[in-house]
Structure 1
Amino acid sequence: MKNIKIQATLLVFALVCATGCTKLEQDWHDKVVPETFFKSKKDVEAALFRPFTHARWYMGEDRWALQEYPADQFAISTKGRHWYNGGENERFHYHRWTPDDGWIWGTWRGTLMGVALALDTKQDLEKVDYEALALTPADKEAHINQLNTLIAFFFMRGLDYFGGMPLFESLDIEAPPRNTDQETFDHVEKLLKDALDKIPAKTAGQKEEGAISKAAVAALLARLYFNAEAYTGQARFGDAAILCQEIIDQKYGPYSLDATWYGPHSFNNDTSPEIIWSIPSELNYLQYDWFFNFFYHYNTVKNFDTEGSPWNGTHLTPSKKPDGSSYRSDFKLGSPFEKFEDADLRKRQYKYLGGDRYEGMFIVGEHLTPSGEPILGGEEYKDLPLTFIDQVARFTEVGPGKEYASISELPSTMSEGEENTGIRLVKVPIPNNADRSRRWAADNPVIRLAEIYYMLAECKFRAGDGAGAASLINAVRERNFEETDPNPVTAANLDEYRMLDEWGIEFLGEGRRRTDLIRWNKFTTETWWDHTPTSDHLKRFPIPTQAISGNNSLEQNPGYE
């Protein structure tokens, strides 16, 4: 049965993702069908959570890339002979992507595959006699609606990336055309509203283990309304605010802000009261680790005192020009590291302290081993101590007989990086080899209560309640300082850019920046480091060439024809 199910899943993948067809004809052998295969609660739960493993993959890699690299906080600069990648990284930074780009194709097919996997499981579980397995009709209703919520999640992400999606509620539909933006929005809304009353709330002290709770449904519906204006042209901030306030008031379960900044991201974040929905992670099992190779220098394993072979790619966009002056006088967006207050506990150098304890979340400045020995470079700084800088430029090409006579002549662009270029984010703690069993013990937060606070704050700000908005943001900010917050949000200093700064600081690297910029109409209209305004049609990605080739009923997005 396991092999049959895998074959069926692969058929879903092939048809949905490669040819645009969603028809699934399962060939059940020896009368092993859903009605007879499920023998226990364990069998049911194993089937239920299979689509959630796809969600784990979906939360990173290409989907993260489409949210962060075209925005103002992250980049993969070309570092000498490394990372030009056929110009892919520059295309996304400069908003020059095409329907043939792999990140776009991977996201389109991954979105529809998620829907298909959830539908496949839903159709199986609908046929199961739950009472015969000592389960209740309420259990069945909750399971089916968890899958409906997962389907809504994937369709909502597709709406965010591409606009209207090809909607299907059965795996027996061939080559469906795209529905409109509004139809996709309405479909997602209906699935979530129907599920809201049918999924139980998490109880006090219950660990977050990946299942979708009542609060997660409410939070996803709030997200839908929060970004509705970008999706359909109709603002729904009032509806988002109502749901956010209800979540904060614990109508959907006992959630509260974590007392520490690291609680929602730490090794034991499954017990954090702030986590509303997360994807479990464990060493050698559903590891939340896709970023490790992309983010860190080849020799950073010596700093972590662990093993691995990182690729030295992703870094924060720079806050400083080659001459050391700040970009903040030039651009209102970007400069993510400099947006953190110096007293912010998160701004410290990342250091693992042992016993699941750590501090800071950046690799910046001198790169040292745990014993304090300098870590040496292997490219431009071969055999020299590495120092990670908040700048992008070819400093090794300055001097007598070299390319540039002085630092003042240095350009700072996507093509001008070196091996120590850019500050690196360590949002997921990495233990040393002594605690290797704790590696990747931190789950991947999908929704946390801080997001609900910030959504409600933005809704209040848009409604003219600056003081109410400031109070909500400061409730989150205060945990980031040993003493008093040196720069709290006030009604006087809160404007649209400060609001975006607060989103960018709290949720740095959590795969949402593009959506936030679009909601404020900044994604295609603003300037940041090595990026100038682009065309409005780029708020949506194109439908991939491979998708249209396999399903000629799919219409391309405007501007990409």
Structure 2
Amino acid sequence: MKRYSIIILTAALTAMASCTKLEQEFYSQVTPDNFFQSEKDVLAALNRPFTHARWYLGEDRWNLQEYTADNFAITTKGRHWYNGGENERFHYHRWTSDDNWIWGSWRGTLMGVALALDARSDLEKLDYTTFALTPEDQAAHVSQLNTLIAFFYLRGLDFFGGMPIFDSLEEESLPRNTDQELFDHIERLLQDALTALPKKEGGEREQGELKQAAAAAMLARLYFNAEAYIGRPMYNECMQLSQDIIDGVYGAYDLDATWFGPHDFNNDSSPEIIWSIPSEFNKLQYDWFYANFYHYNSRQYFDVDMGANNGAHLTPSRKPDSTLYANDFHLGSPYEKFHDLDLRKHPYQYLGTGNYEGMFINGPHRTPEGAVINGGEEYNGQALIFRDQVGRFSEVGPDKRYSSVEQLPSRMADGEENTGVRLVKVPIPNMAENTLRWGADNPAIRLAEIYYMLAECKWRDGDLATAATLINAVRARNFEGGNDADPVTAGNLDEYRFLDEWSTEFLGEGRRRTDLIRWNKFTTDAWWDHQASGSDHLKRFPVPTQAISGNNNLQQNPGY
């Protein structure tokens, strides 16, 4: 067996040691013949690429999707978070092929493909009946891995355009395939999986496996963004797939009755989840964002024992003088895009027994008992009050740098420890109910996305009334009694209202850059502290310097 596989399967053995009893037998190397001894070993090999997908959905990939767009930023906060200019480079669209987020995403994409190919190669060779499994089980497992390969390549196509297409790990130093060739490869993998994967039955919980609707949703995503990927719009194809998913052709799904259902501690039971990555306290936790999103002292707010680094926040809706940026920019201002009666706009508060409300931190920071939480930097010893603004407010006053807030600049360099509204989309319980911590699975694909894709396809086809109806079907749960205070109509649904709807429903779900590119706004529109570049080559990231150094057959993207 190839050396790469030995490393992978050794890692799988280590990961599974707590739940698989291994005999006292030692091997000079791990091969399919001596590794696969039971059904658990088969599932360990199948699941290894999915643990990579868990990591892949966050971290650098999320950074590229959100910090390059209009909803999130990591401002420099005094002595913190300049990070060698990294955060400013991505906000201002000045990244280079040497940037780590780009290298991490190129490498992470192809690593995911490699892990899935390796598992597929091993599982295809097995006699499943030896493990009390059926040929149908084997076909479903292989189809899951093919779908996962398509998933990684779809993200790679979105980030970089054409990438090398690997069909086995025996191939080395391949050149990049064209955008169209990679598009066609993804399409074939997903079309084949549509009939080979099982369907979800009504009431069935989502446990992380890929089913027909997941493959259909990925294929719909491919068609939805085809104009950006290959220069050919395929909205009609996306429309048909989306309608079929909603109609139950690929399994039983429905919109959740509540806004929090797809995100809460028991979201594996949400009828809206098409594919999720399981998470559990102390077991493959969905928690990568916590350290970056929250203040050093937010542990008092949540009543937890976890530290944080106070980096990321929403881009501001208001200037230092409190006037709205919406008067200057169509994009951005994510917090103020939520209606004041929207239940999601409430401050996050854990209510106990798995219940909570709201999904933002804004205004005075207090403990659950109401005690004031102080700052530790610009507001050391003073009450911590989060602002939907960026500016050095601590430097305003007599004998200070600025005499009034009207003089304050508002730039990436001007953050403070209380800068920006913080998102709490993944619920956090208190210490008394710590076993619920990170119980929410990562919802990779939701039925709400299918509704929005279908709505946008209808809108582009001129059917604005149906588009509005589809969006309102999702929006209603965000308001008390389903009474939407600002419903979408055929009259108000222009391109910017549509982008606002994508923003509010999927805020922080790692997709914003793709949406802006599809609407041709990523390089043509301005938002807070960001001027439009007008440079279309920025819709793709460069091939990383480290990748080209390791494979001189790779060609750089135009413009870099």
TM-score tier (shorter) = over 0.9
Equivalent residue runs for 1:112-511 within 5 Å: 112-483=110-481, 484-511=483-510
SS in 1 for 2:60: helix
Counterpart of 1:82 in structure 2 is 80
User: Is the Cα contact below 8 Å between 1:159 and 1:185 reproduced in 2?
Assistant: yes
User: Is the Cα contact below 8 Å between 1:161 and 1:540 reproduced in 2?
Assistant: yes
Q: Quick one: distance in 2 between partners of 1:10 and 1:457?
A: 46
Q: Quick one: distance in 2 between partners of 1:33 and 1:380?
A: 58
SS in 2 for 1:358: strand
Q: Quick one: distance in 1 between partners of 2:556 and 2:5?
A: 33
Counterpart of 2:543 in structure 1 is 543
Query: Which segment is superposed worse, 351-360 or 128-137?
Result: 128-137
Corresponding position: 1:7 with 2:7: yes
User: Is the Cα contact below 8 Å between 1:35 and 1:127 reproduced in 2?
Assistant: no
Counterpart of 2:20 in structure 1 is none
SS in 2 for 1:517: helix
Q: What's the CA shift string for 1:167-201, capped at 9, x where partnerless?
A: 11010011000000000000000000011100000
Q: What's the CA shift string for 1:1-53, capped at 9, x where partnerless?
A: 9x995525699xxxxxxxxxxxxxxxx95585314532222221111011000
Q: Quick one: distance in 2 between partners of 1:30 and 1:270?
A: 41
Counterpart of 2:558 in structure 1 is 558
Look up the equivalent residue of 2:7 and give its one-letter code.
Answer: Q
Q: Quick one: distance in 2 between partners of 1:302 and 1:30?
A: 52
User: Is the Cα contact below 8 Å between 1:267 and 1:438 reproduced in 2?
Assistant: yes
SS in 2 for 1:49: helix
TM-score by length of 1: 0.95
Look up the equivalent residue of 1:435 and give its one-letter code.
Answer: E
Counterpart of 1:24 in structure 2 is none
Q: What's the CA shift string for 1:131-182, capped at 9, x where partnerless?
A: 2222111111110010000000001100000000011101001100000000
Q: Quick one: distance in 2 between partners of 1:556 and 1:4?
A: 27
User: Is the Cα contact below 8 Å between 2:6 and 2:30 reproduced in 1?
Assistant: no
Q: Which runs of 5+ in 2 are unaligned?
A: 12-25
SS in 1 for 2:416: coil
RMSD: 1.6
Q: Which runs of 5+ in 1 are unaligned?
A: 12-27
Task: Identify the match of residue 36 of structure 2 among 35, 38, 45.
Answer: 38
User: Is the Cα contact below 8 Å between 1:72 and 1:334 reproduced in 2?
Assistant: yes
Q: What's the CA shift string for 1:301-354, capped at 9, x where partnerless?
A: 000000111000000000000000000010000000000000000000000001
Q: What's the CA shift string for 1:378-407, capped at 9, x where partnerless?
A: 011110001101000001111122111111
Q: Quick one: distance in 2 between partners of 1:45 and 1:205?
A: 23
User: Is the Cα contact below 8 Å between 2:313 and 2:421 reproduced in 1?
Assistant: yes
Q: Which runs of 4+ in 1 moved over 2 A?
A: 3-6, 8-11, 28-33
User: Is the Cα contact below 8 Å between 2:8 and 2:115 reproduced in 1?
Assistant: no
Q: Quick one: distance in 1 between partners of 2:44 and 2:283?
A: 15
Matched length: 544
Look up the equivalent residue of 1:360 and give its one-letter code.
Answer: G
Q: What's the CA shift string for 1:189-223, capped at 9, x where partnerless?
A: 00000111000001111110000011101000000
Query: Which segment is superposed worse, 330-339 or 36-45?
Result: 36-45
Counterpart of 1:525 in structure 2 is 524
Q: Quick one: distance in 1 between partners of 2:184 and 2:27?
A: 39
SS in 2 for 1:377: coil
Q: Quick one: distance in 1 between partners of 2:205 and 2:227?
A: 35
Q: What's the CA shift string for 1:470-515, capped at 9, x where partnerless?
A: 0000000000000411110000000111111000000000000000
TM-score by length of 2: 0.95
Distance 1:4 1:464, change over 3 A: closer
SS in 2 for 1:263: coil
SS in 1 for 2:351: strand
User: Is the Cα contact below 8 Å between 1:77 and 1:414 reproduced in 2?
Assistant: yes
Q: Quick one: distance in 1 between partners of 2:159 and 2:28?
A: 42
Q: What's the CA shift string for 1:271-314, capped at 9, x where partnerless?
A: 00000000000111110000000000000000000011100000
Q: Quick one: distance in 1 between partners of 2:512 and 2:27?
A: 47
User: Is the Cα contact below 8 Å between 2:6 and 2:31 reproduced in 1?
Assistant: no
User: Is the Cα contact below 8 Å between 1:9 and 1:117 reproduced in 2?
Assistant: no
Look up the equivalent residue of 1:137 and give its one-letter code.
Answer: P
Q: What's the CA shift string for 1:349-384, capped at 9, x where partnerless?
A: 000001000000000011000000010000111100
Q: Quick one: distance in 2 between partners of 1:81 and 1:527?
A: 28
Distance 1:448 1:8, change over 3 A: closer
Corresponding position: 1:108 with 2:75: no
**TM-fit CA distance, 1:523:** 0.3
Q: Quick one: distance in 2 between partners of 1:363 and 1:8?
A: 41
Query: Which segment is superposed worse, 32-41 or 327-336?
Result: 32-41
